[in-house]
Structure 1
């Protein structure tokens, strides 16, 4: 080899079996009785906040006290069924998809130096593709059902009655009317969730030696994971808020007739920049809790199931 030839570090890419991906999917929230499932726990627990957020997006004059006064405390749990089931299944597809595409893109990079150099692009690509394939196809009709139940008092008594009513009255078209907005919402959400979480962990680990990192106490690891998850949750909420607002309006039936992109454009213009971020405060609180909780429980379930860790391509020096 010529003296000026570039030396590259060897690349180790673990081999994930179908069983491993099944573990990632299960840990990411597919309903099995043997595990504590982060999506149903975290999204279900945040239902009251989500009800207030959605109502405010649709009608800014509403507030939590007004909702309780008019409809009773149980109104704050409206949409729990589709929320839990929708994100239950969507979470499995999202986490397993991220693991799959991250590994795939690392393999395409070919060597460790290249993978580390382009790690942010790998995170962005894996989050985007992992979210858009399967996860959002499963989520969209359940999210449409949830928003109808939250925005129309007395629309349905639960998930099954709400889903069947929406299917009966609007057909598949109404069930998937929010698919494009969901992509606009969930892809930025996933980018914030996974990319920022990865970069936060990298920042924390780069501040310590390998020896220190190898001997971190459980409480120190928990603090890093929790802090990274909270920051990632804030980022996910901010990035996805405009599309979340438009999604609520689309499923409420607002806007002109026409293609989804045309309706989104008109609604965005009518709503205005400030209006697109109405309800961001409660949503940031909700999302910080969701994302941090998901990562903590996802890691715990993976460990309990004996699943391997994901591919790590964090930068360890100032070389890049």
Structure 2
């Protein structure tokens, strides 16, 4: 049912009569989130920043496992529990917190910008297309692009620290080495790769949560409160953001996983840039042939490297670990975000 609802919403501009197939869709398609004015309200930025830092911080161990499975699929090609045990055995339990500092800081700022600019852009794009869902998608593209610029340095630090434990002894040491070797703008070479991940992720997360919460409020109101969402029992109202976030996590993960693979491949490759000169003489040609392929120097190069090495399915390597990671992030993040909005005096997502 959820799949049919999502498809009907995306097709609303081309087939307005689709709402007649299921009554709860009528008010949803007519004006999903119409009461959410958005705008330059600091409360959206604050709630987004706190919820993002919290949700990404506590899932750092899952992120470490996921990154190891992506950067070294031949050694970590089993299940998530097996990868967990191997990391603890070889690196120690504290390695599961590798990259915690850049994760919390980077995603805290990124979350503030993503949620804040999404709400800022929603009224700006209102009415641009016949479909409110399409308007929300446009707003999410802008928000995801802005947040990606801030996230680039933090994500490169995290990936380098996890992919290569010897890269630096601390986050500050990793930052100093990154600046020393590549300069202050080095991380932004991966901006196209970051956009490949973050824009689809933002589209899947922000828009799906808005649409699904509106759907669940409308459906529960029809079933339990005679169509009036304001009369819903508090327990039913509390269930809405959890249901919306749970479904949203699947959409966001599937949309952004190929981009996440490309991003990881791009940043991982830069640590292999140093090439040892082959010996002279007869063994020179065989030594050259034995050298690893050069690291990708572009987003397209990273994509080609993955496909050449593992085939098209390589773009979905580590999907199981990442889905657990994304679900753990998004469910907590969106539930906390919705609760913080209400504490700060804003309406619950999808309730108006």
TM-score (normalizing by structure 1) = 0.82
**What is the match of residue 52 of structure 1?**
65
* Structure 2 counterparts to residues 105-144 of structure 1, below 5 A: 105-106=125-126, 108=128, 114=130, 118-133=131-146, 135-144=147-156
State whether residues 339 and 348 of structure 2, in contact with CA within 8 Å, keep that contact through their aligned partners in structure 1. no
Alpha-carbon distance in structure 2 between the residues aligned to 1:97 and 1:250:
27
Match of 2:301 among 235, 246, 263: 263
Gap change, CA 1:283 and 1:265, over 3 Å in 2: closer
State whether residues 118 and 140 of structure 2, in contact with CA within 8 Å, keep that contact through their aligned partners in structure 1. yes
Deviation at 1:256, TM superposition (A): 4.3
- SS of 2:168's equivalent in the other structure is coil
Match of 2:243 among 214, 217, 227: 227
**What is the match of residue 27 of structure 1?**
47
Deviation at 1:70, TM superposition (A): 0.7
Structure 1 unaligned residues grouped into runs of 5+: 1-8, 30-36, 315-320
Alpha-carbon distance in structure 2 between the residues aligned to 1:13 and 1:168:
50
Gap change, CA 1:72 and 1:129, over 3 Å in 2: same
Alpha-carbon distance in structure 2 between the residues aligned to 1:197 and 1:179:
26
Gap change, CA 1:106 and 1:217, over 3 Å in 2: same
Alignment deviations for residues 277-309 of structure 1 (CA, whole Å, 9 cap, x no partner): 111112111111211212221122222222466
Alpha-carbon distance in structure 1 between the residues aligned to 2:317 and 2:111:
26
State whether residues 39 and 119 of structure 2, in contact with CA within 8 Å, keep that contact through their aligned partners in structure 1. no
**What is the match of residue 180 of structure 2?**
168
- More divergent stretch after superposition (172-181 vs 238-247): 172-181
Alpha-carbon distance in structure 2 between the residues aligned to 1:258 and 1:234:
29
Match of 2:335 among 273, 276, 296: 296
- More divergent stretch after superposition (257-266 vs 75-84): 257-266
Alignment deviations for residues 107-158 of structure 1 (CA, whole Å, 9 cap, x no partner): 546xxxx4xxx0221121111111102x111100110000000011132233
Alpha-carbon distance in structure 2 between the residues aligned to 1:292 and 1:173:
34
Matched, 1:94 2:120: no
Structure 2 unaligned residues grouped into runs of 5+: 1-29, 77-82, 271-292
Alignment deviations for residues 254-294 of structure 1 (CA, whole Å, 9 cap, x no partner): 67467524413422422322111111112111111211212
- SS of 1:186's equivalent in the other structure is helix
Alpha-carbon distance in structure 1 between the residues aligned to 2:90 and 2:297:
36
State whether residues 190 and 267 of structure 2, in contact with CA within 8 Å, keep that contact through their aligned partners in structure 1. yes
**Which has more radius of gyration?**
2
Deviation at 1:313, TM superposition (A): 10
Deviation at 1:97, TM superposition (A): 1.0
Gap change, CA 1:15 and 1:39, over 3 Å in 2: closer
Matched, 1:245 2:255: no
- More divergent stretch after superposition (231-240 vs 252-261): 252-261
TM-score (normalizing by structure 2) = 0.75
Matched, 1:41 2:54: yes
Backbone CA RMSD of aligned residues: 2.6
Alpha-carbon distance in structure 2 between the residues aligned to 1:176 and 1:215:
49
